[in-house]
Structure 1
Amino acid sequence: MSDAATNLPPGAQLLGREWLGFDESGHALIRFQGQPSFTNRHGTIQGGFLAAMLDSATEICALAAVSPDLTVVTKSLDTRFLKPATIGPITARAQVVERTERDVIVQAHLVDAEGIIVADATARLRILAKR
């Protein structure tokens, strides 16, 4: 699965999304770039941007698990903000935890440059035929 900048949707480009592949335990790894323009009044990454990163990561993980003639759309994203996230690289680690013919559930968490988990989420995605 390639994530060349020219093929990325605008939202993924804004988040600086980079597909890193799978780790030894089968988790999808996706890196994002926390930008100064993403910060809140406290100087940390605003939660909406973290949720967008988790949504993007869970979707790309689900896409990696379905055949190329299918796509996925997020039905729900249950997100928890655990620690303040600072500007810089933020890496998502995502894994499919359940799949049926119509739906897939993906869990993911975001880790900052110091290795601290700053947020996590469970996404429920619908599997659809590509148009």
Structure 2
Amino acid sequence: MHLPPGAQLLGREWLGFDETGEIALIRFQAQPSFTNRHGTIQGGFLAAMLDSAIGIAALAALTADLTVVTQNLDTRFLKPAGVGPITARARVVERTDRAIIVQADLVDTKGITVADATARLRILRKKTDPEGT
């Protein structure tokens, strides 16, 4: 599968689900170019990682004819994040026919949660291409 440019920039890698089958695991690669003046990962990149992981977890819970768009992303920055791998753990906490709520956290290589977020996403039916291209 071809990754969108934003996912490529973040070094997104789908790891699968945890042993419960309910928590999606997605790894990102925080680059030196993502750092702020303090040498830690700038919050906007962490928010982008959370948004990406939340979207992937939501899509994993839906049928192939549906997609999602983020309506809101409530993000908390808990600890400084360093350059290197950061793993997202995302799970669906609520779903209706029109919306899905997903919670995710970002964990560094030491097991420290550096940020978390809860998002509400709108569920949409994918548009079909009448020409089949």
Q: Smaller-chain TM-score range?
A: over 0.9
Report % sequence identity: 79
Greater Rg, structure 1 or structure 2? 2
Q: Which runs of 5+ in 2 are unaligned?
A: 128-133
Verify: 1:12 aligned to 2:7, yes or no. yes
| Aligned counterparts of 1:82 and 1:125: Cα–Cα separation in 2 | 23
Q: Which one of the candidate residues 74, 97, 101 is aligned to 2:93?
A: 97
| Aligned counterparts of 1:96 and 1:103: Cα–Cα separation in 2 | 11
**TM-score with structure 2 setting the length:** 0.94
| Aligned counterparts of 1:67 and 1:126: Cα–Cα separation in 2 | 14
Encode CA deviations 1:54-98: one digit per residue, 9 max, x unaligned.
000000000000000000000000000000000000000000000
Q: Counterparts in 2 of 1:37-48, with a 5 A limit?
A: 37-48=33-44
Q: Counterparts in 2 of 1:51-130, with a 5 A limit?
A: 51-130=47-126
Q: Which runs of 5+ in 1 are unaligned?
A: none
How many residues end up aligned between the 2 structures?
126
| Aligned counterparts of 1:10 and 1:123: Cα–Cα separation in 2 | 22
